[in-house]
C-alpha cells in the first residue's frame, strides 16, 4: 500500500529496520523527530511538520509494524517497547543525527518514555501528545502494578476481533460502529471534527500491519478474567503492563525538558478509557468483571501525572497543557492551539 504524502519521502535502511521516513525543512535545521501512535503512520504528522518554526528540520518515520516499514520485521512484545526505542536509535545513527527534539503521540509517547530510559543522550526534549501511560495500557492498578501477572485483558486479548478483521481487509466503509473509519471519527478525535485529509489519514491507519505477529498480535489463554492474556508479538502486546520492566526509568537519568499536551475529552488515554477492559467492566459493558480491587480501571492520566511529578522531583522541567473541547489528537483537532504551545516550548529551549 502506498500512502499519499505532502512532504518528502525516502527509504532509510538502518541495521534494525528499513522504513519510510518523511522530512521537511532545511537539511541543516535542528532535528525534530515525530513518532506516531497506533492505527497511524508518519503521514498523520505532515501538516504539523510543515508548520515548524524556521530553523527546524522535521523527521517522521513509520514505526516497525506500521505504514511502509519493512513488513518482514516483527515486534518482539516480550521486550516491551524496546524494539521501537532501539529502532529509533539505529535510525538516528543511519541518518547522522546525534540528538533531536522528539514528539510522540499515544503509543509513540510510550515509545519516547522508553527512549528517554534507553538512549537519553539522543533526547534534547520531549513533547508528549496524549501519551500512553509509562505503565503501559490496560490491566494496571493505580500504582502501575499489573492487575494480573500475565497481563490478562491487555494487548491482543482486548481488541475487538471484528475491528481487527476490517482493518486487515482495508475496509474503508462506514456501515458499522467498528469500521475503522467510524472508530477514528468516534474516539481518536472528538466529534464532530473530521480531518481535512481524512482519506489519507485513513489510508495510513489501514496500512497497519495485520496478523498474529502484528496487529492485533497473538493471545494466550489465561486463568484470569477475561480469560486471555497478551502473546509475544505485535505492538499492542508490547504495551501490556507486565512488559514494562522499568516504567519510571526515565525519571532517574538525564532530565531534558518535557511538554505534555492532551485533550480534556480524550476517550483513548484517560482515567476511564473506552479501550481499557477495567473501565468497560466497571461500566457493565463486559460480563464477569471481578471488581475494582482485582481489576480497576487504569488511571492513565493520574499515572502519567505521578511519573512527571517524580521527574520534576529529580530536577526535570515539565510544562502541562490541557485543551478543552479536544479529544485524543490535539495536533489535528486544534492545530493553532497546539502550535502555540509546542512552538513556544521549542523556541524557549
The answer as to whether 63 is a domain residue is: yes
Does the pLDDT value for residue 1 go beyond 80?
no
Are the beta carbons of 62 and 85 closer than 8 angstroms? Answer: no
Residues 235 and 215 sit within 8 Å (Cβ to Cβ): yes
152 part of a folded domain: yes
For the chain, what is the domain count?
1
The whole-number average pLDDT for the span 71-100 is 98
Is 83 a member of any domain? yes
Give the total residue count for the chain: 349
| Residue 301 resides in a domain | yes
pTM of the model: 0.98
Residue 195: closest CA among 179, 206, 184, 208:
184
The pLDDT score that the predictor gives to residue 253 is: 84
C-alpha cell at 227: 480469560
For residue 158, pLDDT over 70 is answered with: yes
pLDDT per position as a tens digit, 134-145: 999 999 999 999
- Mean pLDDT value of segment 106-117: 98
Indicate which CATH number applies to the domain containing 311: 3.40.50.1820
- Decide if 2 is inside a domain: no
Percentage of the residues of the chain whose pLDDT score is greater than 90: 99
Range of the domain at 122: 8-347
Q: Are 150 and 224 in contact (CB under 8 A)?
A: yes
Distance CA(56)–CA(59), nearest Å, equals 10
CB 188 within 8 A of CB 261: no
For residue 141, which of 251, 8, 299 has the smallest C-alpha distance? 299
State the pLDDT at residue 122: 98
The conformational region for residue 258 under phi > 0 = left, psi -120 to 50 = alpha, else beta, is: beta
Q: Work out the average pLDDT over 247-273.
A: 97
Residue 102 lies in a domain: yes
Q: Are 215 and 207 in contact (CB under 8 A)?
A: no
The yes-or-no verdict on residue 172 having pLDDT over 90 is: yes
Over residues 211-253, the pLDDT tens digits come to 999 999 999 999 999 999 999 999 999 999 999 999 999 999 8
- Residues 87-91, mean pLDDT to the nearest whole number: 98
Q: Over the chain, what is the mean pLDDT?
A: 97
Amino acid at each position: 500500500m502506498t500512502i499519499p504524502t505532502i512532504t518528502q519521502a525516502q527509504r532509510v535502511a538502518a541495521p534494525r529496520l528499513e522504513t519510510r521516513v518523511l522530512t521537511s525543512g532545511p537539511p541543516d535545521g535542528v532535528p525534530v523527530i515525530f513518532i506516531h501512535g497506533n492505527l497511524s503512520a508518519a503521514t498523520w504528522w505532515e501538516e504539523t511538520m510543515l508548520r515548524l518554526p524556521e530553523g527546524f528540520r522535521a523527521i517522521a518515520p513509520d514505526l516497525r509494524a506500521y505504514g511502509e516499514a519493512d513488513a518482514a520485521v516483527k515486534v518482539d512484545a516480550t521486550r516491551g517497547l524496546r524494539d521501537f526505542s532501539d529502532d529509533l536509535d539505529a535510525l538516528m545513527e543511519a541518518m547522522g543525527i546525534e540528538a533531536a527534539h522528539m514528539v510522540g503521540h499515544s503509543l509513540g509517547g510510550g515509545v519516547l518514555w522508553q527512549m528517554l530510559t534507553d538512549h537519553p543522550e539522543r533526547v534534547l526534549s520531549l513533547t508528549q501528545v496524549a501519551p500512553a501511560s509509562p505503565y503501559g495500557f490496560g490491566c494496571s492498578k493505580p500504582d502501575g502494578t499489573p492487575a494480573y501477572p500475565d497481563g490478562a485483558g491487555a494487548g491482543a486479548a482486548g481488541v475487538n476481533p471484528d475491528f481487527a478483521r476490517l482493518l486487515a481487509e482495508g475496509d474503508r466503509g462506514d456501515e458499522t460502529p467498528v469500521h475503522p473509519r467510524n472508530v477514528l471519527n468516534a474516539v481518536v478525535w472528538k466529534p464532530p471534527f473530521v480531518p481535512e485529509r481524512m482519506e489519507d489519514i485513513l489510508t495510513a491507519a489501514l496500512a497497519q500491519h495485520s496478523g498474529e505477529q502484528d496487529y492485533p498480535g497473538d493471545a494466550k489463554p489465561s486463568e484470569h478474567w477475561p480469560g486471555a492474556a497478551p502473546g509475544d508479538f505485535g505492538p499492542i502486546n508490547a504495551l501490556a503492563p507486565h512488559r514494562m520492566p522499568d516504567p519510571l526509568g526515565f525519571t532517574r537519568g538525564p532530565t531534558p525538558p518535557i511538554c505534555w499536551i492532551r485533550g480534556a475529552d480524550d476517550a483513548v488515554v484517560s482515567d476511564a478509557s473506552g479501550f481499557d477492559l477495567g473501565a468497560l467492566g466497571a461500566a457493565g459493558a463486559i460480563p464477569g468483571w471481578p471488581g475494582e480491587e482485582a481489576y480497576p480501571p487504569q488511571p492513565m492520566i493520574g499515572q502519567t501525572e505521578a511519573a512527571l511529578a517524580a521527574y520534576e522531583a529529580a530536577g526535570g522541567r515539565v510544562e502541562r497543557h490541557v485543551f478543552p473541547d479536544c479529544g485524543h489528537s490535539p495536533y489535528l483537532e486544534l492545530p493553532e492551539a497546539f502550535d502555540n504551545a509546542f512552538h513556544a516550548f521549542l523556541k524557549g529551549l
